Structure 1
Amino acid sequence: MRLGFSSALFAFARPSALRNIVALARLAHFLIVFGAGALALHALQGGPPRASEHYLALSALAGALCVLVFHSFGLYGHDMFGSRLLIRRTLLAWGAAFGLVMTLHLLFRFLRPLPDGSLALWFALSFVLFVGGRLVMLWLFQRRIRQGAFIQRSVILGMTDNALRLAEQIHHRADVVSGLVGYIDDRRTHRLSEPPPSSLPRLGDIDDLERLIRDGGVDQVLVALPAQARGRNEDLAQRLRRLPVQVLLVPDMGSFHFAHRKLVPVAGVPMFVIAEPPLQGWAPVLKRAEDLALSALALLALAPLMALVALAVKLDSPGPVLFRQKRYGYNQRLIEVFKFRSMHHHLRDEHAARQTGRADPRVTRVGRFIRKTSLDELPQLFNVLAGSMSLVGPRPHATATKAANVLFEDAVQEYVARHRVKPGITGLAQINGYRGETDTIEKIQRRVEYDLEYIENWSLWLDLSILLRTLPAVLSGEAAY
């Protein structure tokens, strides 16, 4: 789950402020575990003074172990200042810490027998306070940063094309308070290849920069000089190293147009990640387990409704109950997708050369209702059980589907990238209003954007959120007919 602001908000915060926040977070986590433990083990249960001492000692030990385990799970690293609540990681880390405490209890008999529920209360109360505390911390820190507190005063060194891209990137991130106060360049403005934005004043040359740093007016220097000026860069690096300032080398901003803004070391050399397989590690196993469990439960729960729909389809018009259609699946492979038949059998369009429109004469009376309510999609639960589809993912499209008379793969350059995961019955695009007819190129473009966003940010939590929001989206939507 993400908050409504970007992790870039904290990118220009003072390192000392970040260190103080981390120290406060560690103290808060210790106090949460200690306080919740004392409450659950003693205050609610009562007991002799000697038992109280045991409970307090165990609570203090649990608090210390919690901080150590949280550190090992990276909860005090860079992600601490991101926009995600880190619920899953916090739950896993707290579960590991709590399990370690219980293991020590079993080995050394720290605790006397307790009524059922005390340990569960301790675990649950601590977890709720962890999440609530993180919300409060991020909200306060965000508010202070927007007010200008904690912000490093930054300057760009060298008004090159790369520097202009950086300034534009910062300008278009409305949620970022960068502390960018100006730029430094030995050349006058009229000698620059392209004038800098009016909001970015020239602060002088390198001598002026040194004076600003020594006077405490600059905390961070963003070096955007061209890589070809190697000798110049080395001289500046040596000069800036002698000053109390943070110096960052700006990478080629042109790379950001096709990279994921993620760096990985290869033989000690940092490289941009342009693409990587989605759902790595245990993710495919978890998603498959999710699909099997939830689709089986859904089929059991919806079996009476599906039987009624099948009967209505059969009675409404002659032809088979199910409609089978070839669509693109994982890795661009063709799969057979099941639906309740919603068209007259003799007017069926197996390749979707013509999209269904409003008052389409090919659609039956029952078909119009089940398409409107998405009941025609229910047989795709069998696709999910068989493994050709997932509950959540990009919607599968037929081979000849077009937008504004242009094939989808020709209309959107990144269209095929959505086939890197299994297609789904519902998806991020559908809950954001993009279901039904795609009669314009803009609509398919927006769908693809949502599909790629889903692939890049997949998690079980995201899947569950999409599933929960699907029914309200179907009931309130007007796009399907």
Structure 2
Amino acid sequence: MRLPFSSTLFAFARPTAIRYTIVMARLAHFAIAAAPGFAILSWMQADPFAQAGHHLALSFIAGLLCVLVFNTFDMYGRDMFSNLLLIRRTFFAWSTTFGLLMTLHQLSRFISPTSPQALVLWYLLSFGLFALSRLVMLSFFQRRIRAGHFIQRSVIVGMTENAMRLAEQIHHRADVISGLIGYIDDRRSHRLHEAPPVALPRLGDIGALEQLIRDGRVDQVLVALPAQAQDRNEALAQRLRRLPVQVLLIPDMTTFRFAHRRMVPMGGVPMFVVAEPPLQGWSPLYKRCEDIVLSGVALLALSPLMLLIALAVKLESRGPVLFRQKRYGYNHRLIEVYKFRSMHHHLRDEHADRQTGRDDPRVTRVGRFIRKTSLDELPQLFNVLGGSMSMVGPRPHATATKAANVLFEDAVEEYVARHRVKPGITGLAQVNGYRGETDTVEKIQKRVEYDLEYIENWSLWLDLSILLRTIPAVLSAEAAY
């Protein structure tokens, strides 16, 4: 059976170190799941020795379930050796474990009743210990990486531009499984087109590489010779096939500028995924349910405040309470966005030909306050409830909005890619400080970068994080007029 690409790399790492680490991780998880439960259940009993057997049985079952469920959640795969925190995955895995444990606890008559307070304390304490153990493991891995110790030691053959890009990628995504210890090149350093990184030493030529492999100092060879050097590639492949080492041919790293770093087979030929629709599968349904629930709750909770704002807008200046504006929504379609009117009605700017600036005479006194605090955008909750907007997403812009007198879509090449999802009341760009006036091209470029990052990495957890960060972001903003 052929292994997936990531599993293939994992399989060629030194098995002793891998297995030892995984065994130690499983023992630690067993102990973290079982020991706190036994200690808490015994401590909260008037006579701890009377129910010791029952508590020990429940704790032992918890440890076994934990290891089995964690294995199902791939907690012992390659990601365990990466720089990922894995806190979210740990939360789901431990919650699943505890849910199964509670089900068995209710169904098994041989286990005595346990107080809910003890169970909650057990769940929280074990989860905290899981998170702490992961941080300790990451700290240990980081020390190993800084010392140059890796489970699988790799070298690059051919210091080409492609190799430079790969070295940079590995440097930024270093893990304890694979690490670069140097490069091999038949040319002298002064003949290289680009100077190699200082942290990447030259280990010699192909002859030196063969000796390094025979001495057991290299586990993986990454070939970065130019594709047009077909004869050299074939000769090198034939030579390295005689040695106990894994050999990988580096693809054109320029592809990774726009590809999703994922490959799919098409007619047996691996192909890079360049683009795909976001929010696939059940994700659109989850996000729509999130929008309906949150916007409905927000409208009920904020209705008194919205009535007060509407009254203040109406009393200060003549005109409608709401301002309706055409903006680009999902798939670049025009939608009508609602806001509390913040300008004098006769000075309104329906197409946003001119951005609002400091002390703008078109803005009313109430308007300055509600724009500064983003309260003018509360009516967009009706947009969310109606389905034209989302609670979280790229902010919708008016049709004629400009940055430094340049239309947004002309200023940033990938601007329209923001419209692959519904626009939102708040977004990743806004909580990272890019809110309000966009008077320079650089500001809209940063907005688009954050918007595309949100689209590529969407999750309900990310939405919740952005919503929680929105209020402090609004309070600390300086550029909203």
TM-score (norm 1): 0.89
1:256-295 Cα shifts (integer Å, max 9, x gaps): 1111222334455432221122222332222222222222
Distance 1:438 1:93, change over 3 A: same
1:444 aligns with 2:407: no
In the alignment, the residues of structure 1 paired with residue 150 and residue 203 of structure 2 have an alpha-carbon distance, to the nearest angstrom, of 22
C-alpha displacement at 1:205, in angstroms?
2.5
- Equivalent runs, 1:314-333 vs 2, <5 Å: 314-333=314-333
In the alignment, the residues of structure 1 paired with residue 68 and residue 265 of structure 2 have an alpha-carbon distance, to the nearest angstrom, of 27
Paired position in structure 2 for 1:352: 352
In the alignment, the residues of structure 1 paired with residue 243 and residue 180 of structure 2 have an alpha-carbon distance, to the nearest angstrom, of 19
In the alignment, the residues of structure 2 paired with residue 124 and residue 35 of structure 1 have an alpha-carbon distance, to the nearest angstrom, of 13
Paired position in structure 2 for 1:3: none
C-alpha displacement at 1:423, in angstroms?
0.8
Distance 1:360 1:128, change over 3 A: same
Paired position in structure 1 for 2:341: 341
Per the alignment, in what secondary structure is the counterpart of residue 261 of structure 1? Answer: coil
Which amino acid is the alignment partner of residue 68 of structure 1? L
Paired position in structure 2 for 1:206: 206
In the alignment, the residues of structure 1 paired with residue 173 and residue 54 of structure 2 have an alpha-carbon distance, to the nearest angstrom, of 52
Distance 1:50 1:297, change over 3 A: same
1:237 aligns with 2:237: yes
Distance 1:127 1:165, change over 3 A: closer
In the alignment, the residues of structure 1 paired with residue 104 and residue 360 of structure 2 have an alpha-carbon distance, to the nearest angstrom, of 69
Higher deviation after alignment, 124-133 or 44-53 = 44-53
1:155-201 Cα shifts (integer Å, max 9, x gaps): 21123342233245456x39789753432233455665x24426355
C-alpha displacement at 1:135, in angstroms?
2.2
1:417 aligns with 2:414: no
C-alpha displacement at 1:18, in angstroms?
4.6
Which amino acid is the alignment partner of residue 20 of structure 2? N
Distance 1:283 1:400, change over 3 A: same
In the alignment, the residues of structure 1 paired with residue 122 and residue 342 of structure 2 have an alpha-carbon distance, to the nearest angstrom, of 54
Check whether the contact 2:38–2:55 (CA below 8 A) recurs between aligned residues: yes
1:386-440 Cα shifts (integer Å, max 9, x gaps): 1111111110001111111111111111111111111111111111111111111
Paired position in structure 1 for 2:311: 311
RMSD of aligned C-alpha atoms? 2.7
Paired position in structure 1 for 2:393: 393
Check whether the contact 2:150–2:179 (CA below 8 A) recurs between aligned residues: no
In the alignment, the residues of structure 2 paired with residue 58 and residue 234 of structure 1 have an alpha-carbon distance, to the nearest angstrom, of 60
Higher deviation after alignment, 372-381 or 124-133 = 124-133
1:224 aligns with 2:221: no
Check whether the contact 1:189–1:195 (CA below 8 A) recurs between aligned residues: no
In the alignment, the residues of structure 2 paired with residue 84 and residue 190 of structure 1 have an alpha-carbon distance, to the nearest angstrom, of 38
C-alpha displacement at 1:32, in angstroms?
0.8
Paired position in structure 2 for 1:4: none
Per the alignment, in what secondary structure is the counterpart of residue 335 of structure 1? Answer: strand
C-alpha displacement at 1:42, in angstroms?
2.7
Distance 1:296 1:313, change over 3 A: same
Which amino acid is the alignment partner of residue 79 of structure 1? D
Distance 1:275 1:313, change over 3 A: same
In the alignment, the residues of structure 1 paired with residue 83 and residue 287 of structure 2 have an alpha-carbon distance, to the nearest angstrom, of 24
Paired position in structure 1 for 2:278: 278
Distance 1:80 1:182, change over 3 A: closer
Distance 1:354 1:240, change over 3 A: same
Higher deviation after alignment, 32-41 or 105-114 = 105-114
Check whether the contact 1:145–1:151 (CA below 8 A) recurs between aligned residues: no
Per the alignment, in what secondary structure is the counterpart of residue 416 of structure 2? Answer: helix
- Equivalent runs, 1:56-205 vs 2, <5 Å: 56-150=56-150, 152-170=152-170, 173=172, 179-188=179-188, 194-197=193-196, 199=198, 200-205=200-205
C-alpha displacement at 1:83, in angstroms?
4.2
C-alpha displacement at 1:449, in angstroms?
0.5
Paired position in structure 1 for 2:7: none
Per the alignment, in what secondary structure is the counterpart of residue 79 of structure 1? Answer: helix
In the alignment, the residues of structure 1 paired with residue 170 and residue 102 of structure 2 have an alpha-carbon distance, to the nearest angstrom, of 48
Identity %: 75
In the alignment, the residues of structure 2 paired with residue 233 and residue 314 of structure 1 have an alpha-carbon distance, to the nearest angstrom, of 76
In the alignment, the residues of structure 2 paired with residue 28 and residue 176 of structure 1 have an alpha-carbon distance, to the nearest angstrom, of 21
Distance 1:284 1:355, change over 3 A: same
In the alignment, the residues of structure 2 paired with residue 54 and residue 471 of structure 1 have an alpha-carbon distance, to the nearest angstrom, of 48
1:87-114 Cα shifts (integer Å, max 9, x gaps): 3332332233233334444454241222
Any stretches of 5+ residues in structure 1 without a counterpart? 1-9
In the alignment, the residues of structure 1 paired with residue 197 and residue 132 of structure 2 have an alpha-carbon distance, to the nearest angstrom, of 42
In the alignment, the residues of structure 2 paired with residue 54 and residue 308 of structure 1 have an alpha-carbon distance, to the nearest angstrom, of 60
Check whether the contact 2:83–2:174 (CA below 8 A) recurs between aligned residues: no
In the alignment, the residues of structure 2 paired with residue 21 and residue 317 of structure 1 have an alpha-carbon distance, to the nearest angstrom, of 70
Per the alignment, in what secondary structure is the counterpart of residue 222 of structure 1? Answer: strand
Higher deviation after alignment, 65-74 or 198-207 = 198-207
Higher deviation after alignment, 118-127 or 274-283 = 118-127
1:92-148 Cα shifts (integer Å, max 9, x gaps): 322332333344444542412223333333333222222222222223322332233
Distance 1:327 1:82, change over 3 A: farther
Distance 1:265 1:44, change over 3 A: farther
Paired position in structure 2 for 1:468: 468
1:479 aligns with 2:474: no
- Equivalent runs, 1:240-279 vs 2, <5 Å: 240-279=240-279
TM-score (norm 2): 0.89
In the alignment, the residues of structure 1 paired with residue 115 and residue 182 of structure 2 have an alpha-carbon distance, to the nearest angstrom, of 64
1:234-276 Cα shifts (integer Å, max 9, x gaps): 4433433443434332121111111122233445543222112
In the alignment, the residues of structure 2 paired with residue 191 and residue 336 of structure 1 have an alpha-carbon distance, to the nearest angstrom, of 61
Check whether the contact 1:326–1:399 (CA below 8 A) recurs between aligned residues: yes
Paired position in structure 2 for 1:33: 33
Which amino acid is the alignment partner of residue 94 of structure 1? W
Check whether the contact 1:390–1:424 (CA below 8 A) recurs between aligned residues: yes
Per the alignment, in what secondary structure is the counterpart of residue 357 of structure 1? Answer: coil
Higher deviation after alignment, 127-136 or 81-90 = 81-90
Paired position in structure 2 for 1:300: 300
Distance 1:211 1:86, change over 3 A: closer
C-alpha displacement at 1:447, in angstroms?
0.4
Which amino acid is the alignment partner of residue 323 of structure 1? F
Higher deviation after alignment, 17-26 or 399-408 = 17-26
C-alpha displacement at 1:16, in angstroms?
5.1
Distance 1:15 1:434, change over 3 A: farther
Distance 1:202 1:450, change over 3 A: same
